[in-house]
């Protein structure tokens, strides 16, 4: 039987981190011969992840431009994918999550009449503008795909409610698989700035980058951070600043004179996963961190108005803190002053899977397309 050739496409830091276990699982599967295509929607943040995991893509569209618009990303990926799909004629294209790379590559596969599988399918907030444009991207992918790999039962229900065509498989989230590769008890930070931080103090990990938070959200969140520092002399923050110039500018304006906020360059993923475990808790608008931190026993305050990861809220591993100054400040202060509440969150069970999602997805692809190739 000829090998089954899935084409895996990703382009940002988070989808690279979560697709790499699937690249490995496909490579290890005797029936699969994967092709890897990076869009290059991110540049340094993507190349860092690829290097750290030793993954060399077969293609890199290298589309990133500083300050790129959503239209830039979408059109460049769509145009770049067409000749690759034409040349490779893969059995199935696989995209991840809700980035513009995923949507544009999915649309390109649809135009090429190539079956499409969606990894991390079915996440929804129900608000098409939050997160923006991710909620629309993943909703559209729900209609473009014939195979949906949903991390949780709730994600499956969202797809059923949308009447998404094709088959749905509940697999767990590959975000949990990655931790097997990255987390080490004796990890030594490769970024020097992290080695200088005193983790015997209560250090809070802060990240914020979402487009919908770039206006009023970030200044309000940063004002809350300053109040927390003012009220809690034993607390410090470590803040890996996203390379988006809009984020970097606002972070500089808010914290230039605040030495207890350690603003550091984006942290490589091995450092990041070990950093989570050394911090007291996480305050973030990131999607991926909401999934990872619970596996590492750290509570998460979600800096958003709504989350597509309600499983974490219901399991008690995360709290929705909102994006206005008072609600962020109060949520953090409650957790900093109530050890019992902190303990309950830190010990709650991660609802996102058992760390074997990628093997399941590879197995499903082998079975599904193996039968077609035999016929």
The residues that are catalytic are 98, 120, 134, 209, 211, 242
**Residue 66 interacts with which of ligand UD1, ligand UDP, none, CB < 5 to 8 Å by class:** ligand UD1
Bridge partners of 36?
8
Bridge partners of 261?
237
Query: Would you count residue 327 as binding ligand UD1 (CB under 6 A)?
Result: no
Query: Would you count residue 207 as binding ligand UDP (CB under 6 A)?
Result: yes
Given the rule CB under 6 A, which of 65-73, 173-181, 275-283, 291-299 is the region that contacts ligand UD1? 65-73
Per-residue contact string for residues 117-156; x = within reach of ligand UD1 by CB under 6 A: ----------------xx----------------------
Cis, bond preceding 218 (omega within 30 deg of 0)? no
Ranges within 223-242 binding ligand UDP (CB under 6 A): 240
Nearer to ligand UD1, 43 or 227 (CB): 43
Exposed/middle/buried for 257, CB within 10 Å: 0-12, 13-18, 19+? Answer: exposed
Q: Which of 2, 30, 56, 67 binds ligand UD1 (CB under 6 A)?
A: 67
Could you give phi then psi for residue 264, rounded to 5 degrees?
-125, 165
Query: Would you count residue 353 as binding ligand UDP (CB under 6 A)?
Result: no
Nearer to ligand UDP, 269 or 336 (CB): 269
Could you give phi then psi for residue 284, rounded to 5 degrees?
-160, 155
Q: Please spell the DSSP secondary structure of 238-264, one letter per residue.
A: EEEPPS-HHHHHHHHHHHTT-TTEEEE
**How far is Cα 340 from Cα 347, in angstroms, rounded to an integer?**
11
Query: Would you count residue 30 as binding ligand UD1 (CB under 6 A)?
Result: no
Q: Which of 243, 297, 363, 370 binds ligand UD1 (CB under 6 A)?
A: 243
State which H helix or E strand residue 358 sits in.
helix 357-374
CA 246 to each of CA 37, 66, 250, 319: distance values in angstroms, whole numbers, following the listed order = 28, 11, 6, 26
Given the rule CB under 6 A, which of 117-125, 184-192, 281-289, 295-303 is the region that contacts ligand UDP? 281-289
**How far is Cα 194 from Cα 192, in angstroms, rounded to an integer?**
5
DSSP assignment letter at 113 = T
Query: Would you count residue 44 as binding ligand UD1 (CB under 6 A)?
Result: yes
**Shortest approach of ligand UD1 to residue 343 CB, angstroms?**
30
Q: Which of 45, 108, 206, 282 binds ligand UD1 (CB under 6 A)?
A: 45
**Which residues make up the interface to ligand UD1 (CB under 6 A)?**
12-14, 41-45, 66-68, 70, 98-100, 133-134, 209, 211, 243-245
């Amino acid at each position: 039987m000829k090998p089954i050739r899935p084409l895996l496409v990703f382009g940002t830091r988070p989808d690279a981190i979560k697709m790499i276990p699937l690249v490995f699982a496909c490579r290890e599967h005797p029936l699969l011969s994967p092709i890897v295509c990076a869009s290059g929607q991110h540049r340094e943040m993507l190349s860092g992840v690829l290097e750290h995991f030793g993954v060399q893509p077969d293609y890199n569209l290298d589309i990133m431009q500083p300050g790129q618009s959503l239209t830039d990303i979408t059109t460049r990926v769509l145009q770049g994918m067409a000749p690759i799909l034409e040349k490779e004629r893969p059995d199935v294209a696989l995209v991840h999550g809700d980035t513009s790379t995923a949507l544009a590559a999915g649309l390109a596969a649809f135009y090429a009449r190539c079956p499409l599988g969606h990894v991390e399918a079915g996440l929804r907030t129900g608000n098409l503008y939050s997160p923006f444009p991710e909620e629309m991207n993943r909703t559209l992918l729900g209609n473009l795909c014939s195979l949906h790999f949903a991390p949780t039962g709730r994600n499956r229900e969202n797809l059923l409610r949308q009447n998404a065509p094709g088959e749905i498989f509940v697999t767990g989230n590959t975000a949990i698989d990655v931790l097997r590769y990255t987390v080490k008890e004796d990890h030594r930070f490769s970024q020097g700035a992290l080695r200088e931080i005193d983790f015997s103090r209560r250090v809070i990990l802060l990240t914020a980058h979402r487009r919908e938070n770039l206006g009023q959200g970030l200044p309000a969140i940063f004002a809350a951070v300053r109040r927390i520092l003012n009220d809690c002399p034993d607390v410090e923050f470590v803040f890996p600043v996203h390379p988006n110039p809009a984020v970097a500018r606002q972070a500089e304006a808010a914290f230039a004179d605040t030495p207890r906020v350690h603003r550091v360059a984006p942290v490589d993923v091995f450092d990041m996963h070990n950093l989570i475990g050394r911090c007291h808790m996480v305050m973030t608008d990131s999607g991926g961190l909401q999934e990872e931190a619970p596996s590492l026993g750290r509570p998460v305050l979600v800096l958003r108005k709504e989350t597509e990861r309600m499983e974490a809220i219901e399991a008690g591993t995360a709290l929705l803190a909102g994006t206005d100054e008072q609600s962020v400040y109060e949520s953090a202060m409650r957790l900093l002053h109530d050890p019992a509440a902190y303990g309950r969150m830190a010990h709650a069970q991660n609802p996102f899977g058992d760390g074997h999602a990628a093997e399941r997805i590879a197995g499903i692809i082998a079975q599904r397309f193996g039968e077609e190739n035999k016929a």
